[in-house]
Amino acid sequence: MLKIENLVVKYGMIEAIKGISFEVRDGEIVTLIGANGAGKTTTMHTISGLLKPESGSILLDGEDLVKIPSHKIVERGLAQVPERRRVFANQTVEENLSLGAYTRKDKEGVEEDLKNVFARFPRLEERRKQLAGTLSGGEQQMLAMGRALMAKPKILLMDEPSMGLSPLLVKEIFRIIEEINKQGTTILLVEQNAKMALGIADRAYVLETGKITLEGTGEELANDTRVQQAYLGG
Amino acid sequence: MEILSYLINGLGLGSVYAIIALGYTMVYGIAKMLNFAHGDIIMVGAYLSFFAMTRFQLPVIVSVALAVLGCTILGVVVERLAYKPLRQATSLSVLITAIGVSYFLQNSAQLLWSSSTKVYPTIISNGAIKIGSLSISYLSILTILVCILVMTCLTLFVNKTKTGQAMRACAEDKGAAQLMGINVNHIISITFAIGSGLAAIAAVLLCAAYPSVSPTLGSMPGIKAFTAAVFGGIGSIPGAFLGGILLGVIETLTKAYISTQLSDAIVFAVLIIVLLIKPAGLLGKKVSEKV
């Protein structure tokens, strides 16, 4: 479904991503793990079109996303839950969700999906008229996820969904990620919390200073001694 | 009664400042830049309406519409050619470019229309409504009404329409807005279009009050309205309104009771005091982030 080939991304002179290739197949949960500064968020931003790569291609069902205007990417069925959630703090929960469906024209489908989001996150329905900035961190994460789901994506990119949340909430968020995946949405997950991420991933890649150094199934990497030493606390 | 009539004059002047300030504040809110060429868009609007009325003998309302159209197009073109290529540049480069655009427009006007002052035609009778000893000029009433109308339409547009919602999203976080599939460049263009169209309306009201047209006509009202926008809290639409009105009232009352010569100094002194007490302006928002 999503195929990244020889992707190079630069910030000025500095090469942040040094020619990575990886793939997310239909229906999978794929995770990209790595330390701070490894290039995980840069990769996510480039796939969503916030950054333009120096070279390489990002193929979504065969179409190169690098060649289309960034605001058209959502329409192609790719949505992102960004790092630190980035909900629109001065808009209500409801308004945030409607922005998620900004590019959609099918009114009935949007209403249907709004119901689904509220069913999945009842807290959001309780707070639908509240400004997003007044929500707790966990609620904002749910809102960011709900907002991305409103785009009805084929593939959902999630950048550090566990950041800043309590262990209990992290578990809950990961349960929901698995649930979304089971209902047919492909997922690309970026995480520092390697243990949780490898636990739910079909396949995983390790990103180190802009290069992919290891790949395998979630289980393989979880049992790999190098991964254990570097990311799972020995 | 005297103070009341000064107050109403102040509201009239303040309404013009408010309409101009909206252009500054919206562009700042969304593009995060200070468009110092905004005052010169007013000047172009004044010339366009002037020529429409005098050389082409068009009715006032048609002339105003033409000026609005011309300024809207000019605003969008300036943004495309001068500011859009600098989207990733430092804010200082953008600021200097804006000053450059301002000079470019002023000098072009001198070249095209000469630097001599032209007398703007009378568009509204000099009469006034008299209530007892209080007299309110038709122009003040018209200006205040136009300002209220503009504010109402703009508030409805920003809060109730999909494009308005996208504008608010861009004002908060352009990256996140783009992730929603919002075409940020398109939204910035719309913002410049609205701001510049409003500048044309302000130009006509301004020239109705001070009927002389020259290439530097926009500078002072531009600076004052910018002050008003900062005063009210730059980036905030109600802030621009409040700042504009207060600035107009303070200026008029100062001229009437303290000193005509010192009025500008006093206006700017008030701005400095407000910013010392409330650095974000009267209605400006503090930026806070939740982790």
Q: What is the pLDDT of residues A4-31, one digit of tens each?
A: 999 999 998 999 999 999 999 999 999 9
Whether B181 contacts chain A with CB within 8 A: yes
Whether B290 contacts chain A with CB within 8 A: yes
Q: Residue B2 has what pLDDT?
A: 84
- Nearest alpha carbon to residue B185 among B93, B88, B99, B40: B88
Cβ-based contacts of B182 with chain A (< 8 Å): 71, 99, 102
More confident residue, B119 or B135: B119
> How do A155-159 and A78-81 pair as beta strands?
parallel
ipTM value: 0.95
Q: Residue B291 has what pLDDT?
A: 42
Distances from the Cα of B287 to the Cα of A52, B279, B284, B290, angstroms:
28, 12, 9, 10
Which of B162, B166, B176 minimises the CB distance to A86? B176
Nearest CA in chain A to B170: A88
**Best interface-test mutation with B: which of A51, A83, A99 has the largest number of B CBs within 10 A?**
A99
Q: Can you count the helices (H) and strands (E) in chain B?
A: 11, 4
Cβ-based contacts of A91 with chain B (< 8 Å): 165, 168-169, 172
- Nearest alpha carbon to residue B31 among B102, B97, B86, B105: B86
Number of Cα atoms under 13 Å in the Cβ half of residue A151: 33
Q: Residue A232 has what pLDDT?
A: 83
Residue B213 is inside which H or E element, if any? Answer: strand B212-213
- Nearest alpha carbon to residue A197 among A179, A170, A165: A170
Minimum distance, in Å, between the CA of residue B2 and any CA atom of chain A:
43
Residue B135: strand, helix, or coil: strand
pTM: predicted TM-score of the whole model, two decimal places:
0.93
Contact between A157 and A78 (Cβ < 8 Å): yes
Q: What is the mean pLDDT of residues B201-218?
A: 96
Q: Is the dihedral of CA A145, A147, A148, A154 positive or negative?
A: positive
Q: What is the 3-state secondary structure (H, E, C) of chain A?
A: CEEEEEEEEEECCEEEEEEEEEEECCCCEEEEECCCCCCHHHHHHHHCCCCCCCEEEEEECCEEHHHCCHHHCHHHCEEEECCCCCCCCCCEHHHHHHHHCCCCCCHHHHHHHHHHHHHHCHHHHHCCCCEHHHCCHHHHHHHHHHHHHCCCCCEEEEECCCCCCCHHHHHHHHHHHHHHHHCCCEEEEEECCHHHHHHHCCEEEEEECCEEEEEEEHHHHHHCHHHHHHHCCC
More confident residue, B284 or B167: B167
Nearest CA in chain A to B285: A90
* Cβ within 8 Å of residue A78, ≥6 positions away: A2, A47, A48, A60, A65, A153, A154, A155, A157
The end-to-end CA distance of chain B, in Å, is 55
Minimum distance, in Å, between the CA of residue B33 and any CA atom of chain A:
20
Which of A73, A133, A147 minimises the CB distance to B290? A133
- CA dist A177 and B28 (Å) reads 38
Asked if B183's CB is within 8 angstroms of A89's CB, the reply is no
Largest separation between any pair of C-alpha atoms in chain A = 51
Nearest CA in chain B to A100: B180
E-only strand ranges, B55-143 = 118-119, 128-131, 134-137
Q: What is the mean pLDDT of residues B111-132?
A: 91
Cβ-based contacts of A130 with chain B (< 8 Å): none
Which of A69, A102, A133 minimises the CB distance to B180? A102
Minimum distance, in Å, between the CA of residue B187 and any CA atom of chain A:
12
Residues 39-98 (A) with a CB less than 8 A from some CB of B: 45, 48-50, 69-75, 79-80, 82, 84, 86-91, 95, 98
Cβ-based contacts of A102 with chain B (< 8 Å): 162, 166, 180-182
B83 has pLDDT over 70: yes
Which domains does chain A show, CATH number per domain?
Answer: 1-77+153-234 (3.40.50.300), 84-150 (no CATH)
Q: What is the mean pLDDT of residues B104-132?
A: 93
Token pair of B100 as six digits: 């450059």
Token pair of B274 as six digits: 């407000």
Q: What is the mean pLDDT of residues B170-177?
A: 96
Whether B162 contacts chain A with CB within 8 A: yes
Q: Residue B134 has what pLDDT?
A: 87
Asked if A140's CB is within 8 angstroms of B181's CB, the reply is no
Whether A153 contacts chain B with CB within 8 A: no
Whether B238 contacts chain A with CB within 8 A: no
Q: Residue B290 has what pLDDT?
A: 43
pLDDT band at B286 (very low <50, low <70, confident <90, very high): low
* Cβ within 8 Å of residue B85, ≥6 positions away: none
Phi, psi (deg, nearest 5) at residue A143: -65, -45
Whether B89 contacts chain A with CB within 8 A: no
Please list the ranges in chain A whose pLDDT falls under 70. 234
Token pair of B91 as six digits: 């804010």
What average pLDDT does chain B have? 94
Residue that the structure tokens 């300030």 belong to = B21
pLDDT band at B126 (very low <50, low <70, confident <90, very high): confident
Residues 175-234 (A) with a CB less than 8 A from some CB of B: none
Q: Residue A214 has what pLDDT?
A: 95
